[in-house]
Amino acid sequence: MTRATLLYKSDPVRGAVWDRVFREEAPDIALEVWSADAPPSDAAYLVAWIPPEDLARSAPKLEVLFGLGAGVDHLNLSSLPPGVQLVRMVDPDLTRSMVEYVLYAVLALHRDIPAYLADQREGRWAPRAVRRSADRTVGVMGLGVLGRAAAEALRDLGFAVRGWSASEKAIPGVACFAGPQALPDFLGACETLVCLLPLTGTTRGLLNAELFAALPEGAGLVNVGRGGHVVEADLLAALGSGQVSAAILDVLATEPPAPDHPLLRHPRVMLTPHVASATHPDSAARQVIRAIRRHREGLPLENTVDRRQAY
């Protein structure tokens, strides 16, 4: 079998890790660094966050594009050549990092940390009642790889957990809801709501005034999906009325936000700069190596994206 070639288009610092892993563990696969000045590549495989604009010219023999994230909403799927398979990154380290962040955020809301931080800034000493995790219901929107792992971890901490997704899912110990018709029932008990949905035409702007009104009064919000899920003006209004008591956000509609962005300085919002999870270069490289070898053996690829659904 001839040697395979993977074209790499991403951060050069991470690329050095990819180069080391491929040299040590995959001598059967050549790693070629993409350059805008280089002639068209014969590579059958490409890994990139943003692929070259003229993909058909840059890599005319391309068969598989490996995305460097769990989501593909940043890609123009219609621009990809029709015969190219698109594979999402499902990295165990990425999943663990996301679960860590979700647990931190839910526990911070559960233990009133945003309120205590506001008290500290104002010089107040005001203890609040401590609730048991079993007495709080957490809802997870999106039950893919990341959402399922987060729901299971929250369940194992003792929270009452419910999950919502577009299609039917079954997770032991988690009350699962599916489809638009089930959304009101799902939301009605969610004292903390976690968004881990993919960003699609259907989910864009889903976290809006109508959805916030369906939550119990004073619910908390965690968004680790995409900034486009939230109608930010509606969230500000819900925070102002107390319908949403506090929000922990890792993503915004525009990143980085302007210094005067109202959510950036809101006293009941905790913001992080899109760092909830990240693909780790060594484990990501090994995932791609395994996938290339499966593909060359004629086996079906895992974690492929359905372009019609965009996930």
Tens digit of pLDDT for each residue in 28-62? 999 999 988 888 899 999 999 888 888 888 889 99
Q: What is the pLDDT of residues 99-138, one digit of tens each?
A: 999 999 999 999 999 999 999 999 999 999 999 999 999 9
Q: Are residues 246 and 104 in the same domain?
A: yes
- Residue 307 domain-assigned (yes or no): no
Split at pLDDT 50, 70, 90, the class of 81 is confident
Residue at 305 is within a domain: no
Whether 247 is in a domain gets the answer yes
- What is the CATH number for 158? 3.40.50.720
Question: Does residue 188 share a domain with residue 125?
Answer: yes
Q: Flag whether 21 is in a domain.
A: yes
Residue 30 forms part of a structural domain: yes
Domain count, the chain: 2
Residue 303 forms part of a structural domain: no
Evaluate whether residue 122 is within a structural domain. Answer: yes
For residues 75 and 189, state if they share a domain: no
Residue 113: which domain range? 92-271
Check whether residue 81 and residue 136 sit in a common domain. Answer: no
Write out the catalytic residue numbers. Answer: 226, 274
pLDDT in tens, 128-178: 999 999 999 999 999 999 999 999 999 999 999 999 999 999 999 999 999
257 and 289 co-located in one domain = no
Residues 126 and 265 in one domain: yes
Q: Are residues 123 and 163 in the same domain?
A: yes
- Of 152, 146, 48, 143, nearest to 93 (Cα)? 146
